């Protein structure tokens, strides 16, 4: 028998979700069977798969030791990495990171280990704020994603409670994200709210935007205002009311103003000669909306964080 004690970073999640992380060698089908047949208990009582675990709970597992015999964490790998993080803000719960264009947030299907997520873990490990050998079901995580070739603010959670609360804030649209971008042409209206429908093609990693509803399409709302113009190009500030895949890039291209440097939704051959290696898009400002509810992240409400304009590589063409 093995006993797993529920610590702070394990609490607040379902029993089955906890076990899938804490006992990775145990197949899911066997885990659910063990719960049903009382070979997995909580506080020596019959448990349910959706039971919410609390700090101090003990999970008893009457299963073979072989399911626990996985290779130990390679702490040496986290020690060897020289973390490359541009930290905008940090406290005991979260970090706000300036992700540079070209940096991968998470490892993708093509591989690649030099990710922002890995550097986050190495940074906190070396600070003594994260120990994978102690944590049973939690690892520091990034709460929002940004495309590889887009730059901007990424939120990182240091503990499970912060991760849960931040994910809920994102889900409830309690975080305002403002982007700045450079686009071909000059929009007829200096300020507008665009609406439409977006359909994602996962196989091609592309989206299609339409003004009319289409099967499988999701509604999108994109606000923009023109900040400056130069040489027939425009510098825009954009607010995402909805946050869909490639929304800004596809929506602006749909109205005839693709982003400079964007080879997927525009033509970037000429822009490459001008130094536009990536699409000219940066998530440069992030604000935590005031909700009035009390929780461990309430101190962030009403605060706004911004990347210095000098760090946004394409602004030089509009100054």
Interval 117-145: pLDDT, tens: 999 999 999 999 999 988 999 999 999 98
**Concatenated DSSP letters for 21-37?**
HH-TTS-HHHHHHHHHT
Residue 68: the pLDDT is: 81
Closest by Cα among 265, 221, 217 to 243:
221
**Concatenated DSSP letters for 160-203?**
HHHHHHHHHHHHTT-EEEEEEEEEES--SSSEEEEEEEEEEETT
Domains of the chain: 2-68 (3.10.290.10), 75-171 (3.30.2350.10), 175-318 (3.30.2350.10)
298 contacts: CB under 8 Å, gap ≥ 6: none
The mean of the pLDDT values for the chain is 92
Instruction: Look at residue 43 and give its three-state secondary structure.
Output: coil
Interval 150-181: pLDDT, tens: 999 999 999 999 999 999 999 999 999 999 99
């Amino acid at each position: 028998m093995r006993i797993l004690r529920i610590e702070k970073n394990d609490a607040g999640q379902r029993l089955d979700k906890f076990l899938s992380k804490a006992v990775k060698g145990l197949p899911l089908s066997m885990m659910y069977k063990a719960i049903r047949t009382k070979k997995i208990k909580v506080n020596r009582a019959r448990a349910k798969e959706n039971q919410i675990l609390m700090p101090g709970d003990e999970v008893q597992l009457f299963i073979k030791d072989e399911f626990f015999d996985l290779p130990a964490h390679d702490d040496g790998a986290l020690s060897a990495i020289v973390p490359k993080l541009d930290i905008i803000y940090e406290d005991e719960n979260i970090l706000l990171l300036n992700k540079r264009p070209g940096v991968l947030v998470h490892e993708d299907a093509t591989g690649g280990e030099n990710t922002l997520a890995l550097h986050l873990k190495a940074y906190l490990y070396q600070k003594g704020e994260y120990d994978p050998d102690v944590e049973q079901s939690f690892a520091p995580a990034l709460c929002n994603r940004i495309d590889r070739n887009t730059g901007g603010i990424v939120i990182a959670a240091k503990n499970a409670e912060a991760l849960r609360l931040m994910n809920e804030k994102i889900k409830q649209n309690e975080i305002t994200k403002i982007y700045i971008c450079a686009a071909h042409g000059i929009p007829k209206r200096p300020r507008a709210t665009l609406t439409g429908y977006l359909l994602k093609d996962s196989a091609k990693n592309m989206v299609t935007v339409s003004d009319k509803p289409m099967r499988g399409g999701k509604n999108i709302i994109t606000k923009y205002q023109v900040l400056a113009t130069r040489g027939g190009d425009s510098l825009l500030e954009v607010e995402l009311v909805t946050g869909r895949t490639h929304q800004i890039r596809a929506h602006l291209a749909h109205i005839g103003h693709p982003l400079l440097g964007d080879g997927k939704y525009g033509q970037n051959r000429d822009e490459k000669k001008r130094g536009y290696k990536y699409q000219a898009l940066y998530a440069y400002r992030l604000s935590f909306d005031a909700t009035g509810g009390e929780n461990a992240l309430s101190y962030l409400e009403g605060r706004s964080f911004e990347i210095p304009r000098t760090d946004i590589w394409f602004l030089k063409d509009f100054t």
